[in-house]
């Protein structure tokens, strides 16, 4: 898939089939994430892979998007690694680039995903559930699966709304 076509046809997918996603596929998605750019190449990300239904249920209780969490085959929790962090804004941007790499890779593999941010209101509780480290901070959960729904056309404002100036 051409990169520009991939960027334009990627949509958030919120309904998934029961078909499992292979571990090698999850590894490929994470590999795409770690090849994102980062300030000073500090690579300030960590990932957690969640497949257990019991854990998914506990996480689902912490978000209004519980159906998405329960319906996804795999959740990839993306963390900011404080031990590698040097500048909060730049590190958060690097994690965002990492997540977009992962979303585009997921799309190119014919899978579907949605970036879940609302759950960050309970990021400490999620962390308690999934790992004991206090040196990481939850930045997003990516719900991944085989798409049950088609992506749709998407909706964006015209470029004229986005371009502040051309000099």
Ligand X SMILES: Cc1cc2nc3c(=O)[nH]c(=O)nc-3n(C[C@H](O)[C@H](O)[C@H](O)COP(=O)(O)O)c2cc1C
Chain residues binding ligand X by CB under 6 A are 11-12, 14, 65, 114-118, 154
Closest residue to ligand X: CB criterion: 117
- Round to whole Å and give the CA distance between 92 and 105: 20
State the residue for tokens 């790992």.
131
DSSP state of 6: H
Q: Whose CA is closest to 106, among 145, 79, 56, 77?
A: 145
Residue 55 vs 97, nearer CB to ligand X: 97
Q: Minimum CB separation from ligand X for residue 35, in Å?
A: 19
Q: Minimum CB separation from ligand X for residue 106, in Å?
A: 12
Identify the helix (H) or strand (E) that includes residue 80: strand 74-81
| Pair type for strands 112-116 and 45-50 | unpaired
Identify the helix (H) or strand (E) that includes residue 122: none
Q: Minimum CB separation from ligand X for residue 84, in Å?
A: 21
Residue 78 vs 127, nearer CB to ligand X: 78
Q: Minimum CB separation from ligand X for residue 7, in Å?
A: 10
Residue 27 vs 90, nearer CB to ligand X: 90
């Amino acid at each position: 898939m051409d990169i520009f076509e991939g960027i334009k046809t990627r949509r958030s997918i919120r309904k998934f089939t029961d078909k499992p996603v292979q571990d090698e596929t999850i590894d490929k998605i994470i590999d795409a994430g770690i090849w994102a750019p980062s300030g000073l190449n500090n690579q300030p990300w960590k990932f957690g892979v969640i497949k257990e239904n019991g854990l998914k249920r506990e996480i689902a209780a912490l978000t209004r998007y519980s159906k998405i969490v329960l319906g996804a085959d795999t959740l990839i929790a993306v963390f900011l690694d404080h031990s590698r962090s040097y500048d909060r804004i730049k590190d958060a941007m690097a994690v965002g680039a990492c997540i977009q790499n992962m979303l585009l890779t997921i799309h190119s593999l014919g899978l579907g995903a949605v970036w879940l941010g609302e759950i960050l209101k309970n990021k400490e509780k999620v962390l308690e559930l999934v790992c004991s480290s206090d040196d990481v901070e939850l930045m997003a959960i990516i719900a991944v699966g085989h798409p049950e729904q088609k992506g749709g056309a998407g909706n964006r404002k015209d470029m004229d709304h986005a371009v502040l100036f051309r000099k």
